[in-house]
Amino acid sequence: MADSKRIASGRVNAATLTEQLEEAIRVDILEGVLAPGQRIRANEMTEHYGVSATPLREALQRLAVKKLVEIDPRLGATVAPISEEDLTDIYDMLSLLDGLALERSIKRGDDAWLARMEATFARLSEQIERQESITPSTPDEVRRTVGLELSAAHSAFHEALYSACDSPWLMHFVDQLRKHAERYRMLTMVQTGGGILRNSRKEHEEIFEAAKRRDGTAAVKALQRHMSKTVEIVRSGMPQIPSSLASGG
């Protein structure tokens, strides 16, 4: 496991500590520090994160609800494995729900919504440029950091796109699916070197410009093209992920 990561417990209550721990483990799963299919050993985890068994157990239960961790009463907890079938299912559902959320936002969005889109698109463009500067000699730690920051900017832009849809339930399901989708993106980026296989900025600009001019049909089509390209790239990268990661072996 990576260098020890202590959770700042300080004066926080038990609920806050569990939330902090849940987020720390989630990020480690996203980065691949905790690999798909890896057995989660309580004694190693409590030492690594500097917590007791109780918040660890509660954090793992929360992550199990979000399908990032699997808990077997006999064998304990493991990081959820990945598969091509799961990838396809996630993006099929995400395409449907994202398209609906985008259409609703375009109909309901105001000037504040437009401003959020503009700000997050500018940030995303900056992070894409950073990612494009990665070379084969870039250290893994730098690649992971850039990947996480790009992931955050990517999520922020898509959240801004849908933020005017006025449906908390729809956004809840979109958020859960997007976290799983980002996991696949990050794993292939870390394992295959993050090569630039697309014009990501142009894809997002097409979505942004169509949404800005209130063209729901064009925006959804651009979004679906973007997601199809993502699935194509992630699927092509999956065979390069070590079999121990892909199968959980």
Domain range list for the chain: 14-79, 84-247
The reply to whether domains 14-79 and 84-247 share a CATH topology is no
Confirm or reject CATH 1.20.120.530 for domain 84-247, answering yes or no: yes
Q: What is the pLDDT of residue 240?
A: 58
Residue-level pLDDT at 14: 60
Q: Exposed, middle or buried by CB within 10 Å (0-12, 13-18, 19+), for 9?
A: middle
14-79 has which CATH code?
1.10.10.10
End-to-end CA gap in the chain: 17
Distance CA 226, CA 206 (A): 9
Q: What's 34's DSSP letter?
A: S
Sheet holding 39-40, edge to edge: 39-40, 76-79, 69-72
> Sign of torsion, CA 201 207 212 213?
positive
Looking at residue 168, what is its pLDDT? 94
**What is the residue type of 207?**
I
Q: Where are the alpha helices (DSSP H) in 37-167?
A: 42-49, 53-65, 84-108, 111-132, 140-162
Q: List the pLDDT tens digit at each of the 249 positions of the chain.
A: 555 566 654 444 566 888 999 989 988 888 778 988 999 999 999 999 999 999 999 999 999 998 899 999 888 999 999 899 999 999 999 999 999 999 999 999 999 999 999 999 999 999 999 988 888 888 878 887 888 898 889 989 999 999 999 999 999 999 889 888 888 877 766 554 444 457 889 999 999 999 999 999 999 999 999 999 989 888 887 765 554 444 443
pTM, 2 dp? 0.74
> Helix H segments across 163-215?
168-192, 200-212
Which H or E run includes 69?
A: strand 69-72
